[in-house]
Amino acid sequence: MVASRIDGVSVRGIVGCVPEGRETVEDIARRFGGDMAHKIAAATGIEERRIVAAGQCTSDLAEAAARRLLDGLGWEPGSIDLLVLVTQTHDYTLPGTASLLHRRLGLRKGAAVLDVTHGCSGFVYGLWTVAGLLKAAGRRALLLVGDTTSRLVDPEDRAVAPLFGDGAAATALELDGAAAPIAFDLGSDGAGAPYLAADGGAMRHPERPARLFMDGTQVFAFTLREVPGSVRAALECAGWTTEMVDHLVLHQANAQMIRHLGQKLGMPADRTVVALREIGNTSSASIPLALVGELADRLAAGPRRLLLSGFGVGWSWGSAALAVGPLAVCETVILPGRKCPAESASPASPTP
């Protein structure tokens, strides 16, 4: 699509949530050998990943983040007009996970909810979706993003098992007539669909569980081909130069890739955020988790000019240039482990 701008919408706060469960490079070494495990960690920059406990779902992570965000902002749940959830790992085939969170968060009857199935580009796509819908109707919105990708990973597949972690984030957005425009550039190329996919499960192959497949060579080639142009398009749409950008925050897939893209875009290393060492690739949540993990103090003091770009499964990519801060809430919370799902994790039983 042609780069576009949406004005009059501000980010008020961001809260990330990761599970307390961890898998470290030492755990990976027990499966694949020490030399291989440390070679993967050195190449990717990932030394441990956060993993949900048995019975925990994407909604549990998103709910914990959203509750802390609403509390920190002092927003009543009834003041939320719109909730958008971006995830590839829904709790159920149906109902949609956004509907479950509507109930669990106590949002008012009549608030609009929407599920968006997107992966690593999902945070930027979510910002675009929420900003556009708020401009059409409403005043306050929650953007929730997150995935429990560990559920899709074959633990014996060394191409993906050491990389993907679980996490979620909640972002509060509000209409604000004084807010500077957010510049977006979004794109897709369905020819990339076979190279990053979770086949099995659901309708196509109900006899076997879904497992994640990734062709890393194709992913890297796609990233270098499409992402720099998208980032530059968002930058140009905003009327910024690279010198005006405080922080470049890319999808946190691979530390070497992030640094390479930063150099290609002419962004100094000290303004290119790398924040995946202790959480891994968290898909749609990777950008907001990087913001709260690495830039919390600066965004609280704000404002900061951010250049964001997410890219991956689909192929899909999205970039945004926006000013954020000062934020009233910018932090990470930990979801404790548990052996059984909480009552709230399941939809209400049907009335006989």
340 compared with 218, residue with greater pLDDT:
218
Residue at 343 is within a domain: no
Active site residue 254: no
Q: Is 281 a catalytic residue?
A: yes
pLDDT bin (cut points 50, 70, 90) of residue 212 is very high
Residue labelled with tokens 């949900």: 52
Annotated catalytic residue, options 57, 90, 281, 330: 281
The active-site residue out of 120, 237, 254, 330 is: 120
Nearest one of 47, 48, 138, 51 to 334, comparing CA atoms: 51
- Residue 28: what pLDDT? 94
Q: What percent of the chain shows pLDDT beyond 90? A: 89
- Contacts of residue 123, Cβ cutoff 8 Å, sequence gap at least 6: 86, 143, 145, 169, 284, 285, 286, 287, 288, 308, 310
Q: Average the pLDDT over 271-297 and give the result.
A: 98
pLDDT tens sequence across 88-117: 999 998 999 999 999 999 999 999 999 999
Whether residue 346 is contained in a domain is answered as no
**Size (the chain), residues:** 352
Q: Write out the two tokens for 283.
A: 């898909």
- CATH, residue 92: 3.40.47.10
Catalytic residue among 118, 251, 254, 330: 251
Amino acid identity for residue 186 in this structure: L
pLDDT in tens, 197-207: 987 555 445 55
Identify the band that residue 208 occupies on the pLDDT scale cut at 50, 70 and 90: low
Please indicate, yes or no, if residue 117 is contained in any of the structural domains.
Answer: yes
347 domain residue, yes or no: no
d(CA 240, CA 229): 15
Assess whether pLDDT exceeds 80 at residue 2.
no
Residue 24: per-residue pLDDT? 95
Residue 181 has pLDDT above 50, yes or no: yes
Q: 251 catalytic, yes or no?
A: yes
Q: What's the pLDDT band for 302 if we cut at 50, 70, 90? A: confident
Residue 116 counted as domain residue? yes
- Nearest to 57, CA basis, from 107, 92, 93: 92
Quote the number of domains for the chain: 1
Q: Could you tell me if residue 349 is inside a domain?
A: no
- Establish if 231 belongs to a structural domain: yes
Residue 140 lies in a domain: yes
Q: What confidence score (pLDDT) does residue 340 get?
A: 34
> Which residue bears the tokens 């140009």?
236
For residue range 140-163, list pLDDT tens digits in order. Answer: 999 999 999 999 999 999 889 999
The whole-number pLDDT of residue 206 equals 52
Domain encompassing residue 234? 4-338
